[in-house]
């Protein structure tokens, strides 16, 4: 539904987005990751027709955003960065305005508005000036205006920014509910959000695409993937050297030592399973094991790995 080819944007000498290509289908929730200033928002602004690309194309539902901007814009629901809204309006008048511009027939407008108002839970503030609302409410009003015409494509720039944990949970829930019949692209720098809502993750840094795959594939890239975390009571004759000799173990880090317990992280060679040999050794030596678990891999580690080295 979204097809992006070789999208590039220069601002003077600065190249904000370099040759980015990807596509997204209906039913997908694409998580757009990257450090601040990586080009996430710039890419979204080009897809929604706000910025003109220096080169490359963005197509939505077969329409080129530069040739048929109105066709593209009418298919997209967009929450811009920072959720800008007209402060002197109320959420209700704002939604009425957007519904009218979006061409929703007068008879259906109130029904559509009531529907999105319920979805984002802003019933209590409908007649308050937007200026006076909290950040969380503003974000949700921004979300509501993006949803009011029930678009096929949703582009959300940091939809959970400024929300409290409960509100974040609600918004993620809402995104998951809509995922089936829409194509959703959202940017975030909260990595825990990615496995929770996204079916695919795209990582960009310095304007270039660095990773495109499922959140699971991203976790697999972590050095910690299949590593084993071990906590044992101190003084059982175990040390880094002893742990390193265990079959399949590549390296061992001591991560903590407190209250008479020591914690280690054992990295496997070539992703082999090391839990079984480890537990055998622990049993043979009568170590008092307090905690033993296999790590799934950490996204923040992968994120740092990819974005800092420029790999």
The binding site for another protein (CB under 8 A) comprises: 45, 48-51, 70, 73-74, 76, 78, 80-82, 84-89, 93, 97-98, 100-103, 129, 145
- CA-based nearest residue to 77, from 109, 35, 44: 44
Contacts of 193 (CB under 8 A, 6+ apart): 31, 160, 168, 172
Least distance CB 91 / another protein (angstroms):
13
CA distances from 29 to 177, 196, 206 (A): 11, 11, 23
CA distances from 195 to 25, 199, 201, 212, 216 (A): 18, 7, 9, 14, 8
Closer Cβ to another protein, 59 or 252, answer by number? 59
Buried b (16+ CB within 10 A) or exposed e, 235-254: eeebeeeebeebebbeebee
Q: Can you read off the two tokens belonging to residue 86?
A: 């007209």
Query: How far is Cα 118 from Cα 308, in angstroms, rounded to an integer?
Result: 42
Measured in degrees and rounded to the nearest 5, phi and psi for residue 211 equal: -155, 140
Least distance CB 70 / another protein (angstroms):
5
Measured in degrees and rounded to the nearest 5, phi and psi for residue 165 equal: -55, -35
Closer Cβ to another protein, 98 or 252, answer by number? 98
Contacts of 31 (CB under 8 A, 6+ apart): 186, 187, 188, 193, 194, 197, 198, 200, 201, 202, 215
Sign of CA dihedral 44, 48, 51, 56: positive
Closer Cβ to another protein, 78 or 267, answer by number? 78
Closer Cβ to another protein, 132 or 244, answer by number? 132
Least distance CB 144 / another protein (angstroms):
12
Query: How far is Cα 195 from Cα 132, in angstroms, rounded to an integer?
Result: 34
């Amino acid at each position: 539904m979204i097809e992006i080819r070789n999208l590039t944007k220069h601002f003077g000498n600065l190249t904000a987005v370099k040759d980015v290509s990807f596509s997204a289908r209906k039913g997908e929730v694409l998580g757009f990751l990257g450090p601040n200033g990586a080009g996430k928002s710039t890419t979204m602004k080009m897809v929604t027709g706000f910025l003109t690309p220096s080169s490359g194309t963005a197509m939505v539902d077969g329409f080129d955003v530069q040739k048929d901007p109105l066709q593209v814009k009418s298919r997209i629901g967009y929450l811009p960065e920072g959720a800008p809204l007209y402060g002197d309006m109320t959420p209700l008048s704002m939604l009425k305005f957007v519904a009218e511009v979006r061409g929703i027939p007068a008879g259906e407008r109130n029904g559509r508005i009531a529907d999105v108002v319920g979805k984002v839970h802003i019933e209590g503030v409908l007649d308050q000036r937007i200026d006076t609302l909290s950040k969380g409410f503003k974000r949700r009003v921004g979300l509501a205006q993006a949803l009011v015409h029930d678009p096929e494509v949703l582009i959300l720039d940091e939809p959970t920014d400024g929300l409290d944990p409960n509100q974040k949970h609600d918004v993620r829930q809402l995104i998951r509910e809509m995922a089936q019949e829409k194509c959703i692209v959202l940017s975030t720098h909260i990595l825990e959000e990615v496995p929770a809502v996204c079916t695919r993750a795209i990582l960009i840094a310095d304007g270039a695409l660095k990773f495109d795959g499922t959140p699971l594939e991203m976790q697999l890239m972590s050095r910690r993937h299949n590593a084993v975390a071990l906590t044992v009571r101190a003084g059982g004759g175990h040390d880094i050297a002893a742990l390193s000799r265990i079959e399949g173990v590549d390296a061992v880090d001591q991560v903590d030592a407190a209250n008479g317990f020591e914690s280690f992280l054992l990295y496997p060679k070539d992703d082999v399973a090391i839990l079984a040999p480890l537990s055998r050794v622990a049993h043979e030596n009568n170590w008092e094991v307090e905690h033993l678990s296999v790590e799934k891999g950490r996204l923040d580690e992968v994120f740092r790995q990819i974005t800092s080295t420029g790999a």
